[in-house]
Amino acid sequence: MKKTLVALAVAAVAATSANATVVYNQDGTKIGVSGRVALVVSKTKETRTDLYDNGSRFRIDASQELGTGFSALGAAELRFGNKNNEFKDIVLKRLYAGLKHDNVGTLTFGKQLTIGDDVTVADYTYNGFGANTVISSGDKVIRLQSPDLDGLTLEADYVFSGSNKKGEPNADGFVVGAKYETSYDDFGVNLIAAYSQKRIAEHKVDKVESHKLKGLAVGAEVSHGPVAVAFNWANEKGTPSTEAGKLKRDLFEVGAKYQFTDVNSIYGQYYWGNGKLTKADKTTKGKLKGWFVGADHKFAKNVLVYLEGGKSKGEVGLADMSKDGKEKVVHAGLRVLF
């Protein structure tokens, strides 16, 4: 029986966490290290060709068995490069700890992802577009995950405000979702849905103005042997800020990948969207459409290169609803996992 592309993708993602190199394992304590060096040469319509960091990281995972099915766990992850992906800063990207029980689930606290990060199943690229409007991470997150229920996982997350000082703008929120993965012979199925709500409070001179921003995203992937196709839909509505006005937008994405040898694959995606931003004095509408294609090659289990590019027109964002924005991009990248 051939492995489905879903299984291969899950194994690739897990290579930097679950398959980390164990450097200590004694008396129920296990410590593993993992990471990657990720570099990319990029050219866009507005910028010259340049070399960037593309998510290089170093990660430590630790666990301690406590008995009766319980264990404590924690992780810390450093990223190399600032928000512009330049070689400048070292950033603490993840830091969390918690408890796990094999039959009950996992509860963690800290700077971590939510289930919203898993939604974009139709994005097979390394630098492309992902249709997602759900809160995907936070600096102060409580994450509660159920155990694996025959392929089904349930999750609820709470994201604390970004500010703990009175008088400063703050935004807290929650995320709920479910994902289901299974396989039938050579067929694989991957389904996911997540909903988030962010409550934003802006402190004015004599009052506090509160508003909400809601996101909903779903994804579905079907694979057969080396071929996979997927679809994503994401919706967002609410008020990002009192100055921005009321927003409503929908994003769509279809993607496909073909693993034609054990070390070579080709992939692509097409995405589109529409949105409306309503202010007191006017309503602005915008549309988005674009595509991305690419190919990758593995020199070894943990070393790969890729070449990809795409083109887009328009922007469905929070503030810029222009129909005239155009972009062309080309990326050539290298990743070394450890």
Residue 46 to residue 68: CA distance in whole angstroms: 58
Please write the tens of the pLDDT for every residue from 49-92: 999 999 999 999 999 999 999 999 999 999 998 777 888 889 99
Q: 23 pLDDT exceeds 70?
A: yes
pLDDT of 256 strictly over 90: yes
Residue 19 pLDDT exceeds 70: no
Write down the pLDDT at residue 169.
Answer: 63
Cα 157 to Cα 111: distance, rounded to the nearest angstrom: 12
Binning pLDDT at 50, 70 and 90, where does residue 149 land? Answer: very high
Could you tell me the domains of the chain?
5-337 (2.40.160.10)
Q: Who wins on pLDDT, 120 or 242?
A: 120
Instruction: Determine contact, residues 15/302, Cβ cutoff 8 Å.
Output: yes
Query: What average pLDDT score do residues 171-186 get?
Result: 94
C-alpha to C-alpha distance for 320 and 300, rounded to whole angstroms: 43
Contact 262, 253 (CB under 8 A): no
Written as one string, the DSSP assignment of 192-226 is EEEEEEEEEEEE-SS-EEEEEEEEEEEEEEEEETT
C-alpha 303/C-alpha 39 separation (Å) is 12
Q: What is the pLDDT of residue 41?
A: 96
User: Which of the four pLDDT bands, split at 50, 70 and 90, describes residue 326?
Assistant: confident
> Is the separation of the CB atoms in 255 and 266 below 8 Å?
no
Q: What digits encode the pLDDT tens for the residues 26-46?
A: 999 999 999 999 999 999 887
* Residue 161 or residue 159, greater confidence: 159
For residue 104, give the 3-state DSSP assignment.
coil
Distance CA 13, CA 19 (A): 10
pLDDT greater than 80 at residue 22: yes
According to the model, what pLDDT value does residue 167 have? 58
- pLDDT for 293 beyond 70: yes
Confidence of residue 150 (pLDDT cuts 50, 70, 90): very high
Tell me which residue of 173, 338, 174, 331 sits closest to 267, measured CA to CA.
331
More confident residue, 11 or 29: 29
CB-CB neighbours of 217 under 10 Å: 26
Is residue 235 a contact partner of residue 250, using CB atoms and an 8 Å limit? Answer: yes
Nearest to 73 by CA among 45, 118, 119, 109: 109
Question: Lowest-pLDDT range, 202-206, 265-269, 310-314?
Answer: 202-206
Contact 77, 90 (CB under 8 A): no
Condensed to tens digits (0 to 9), the pLDDT of residues 189-229 reads 999 999 999 998 877 667 777 889 999 999 999 999 999 99
H helix intervals, the chain = 5-13
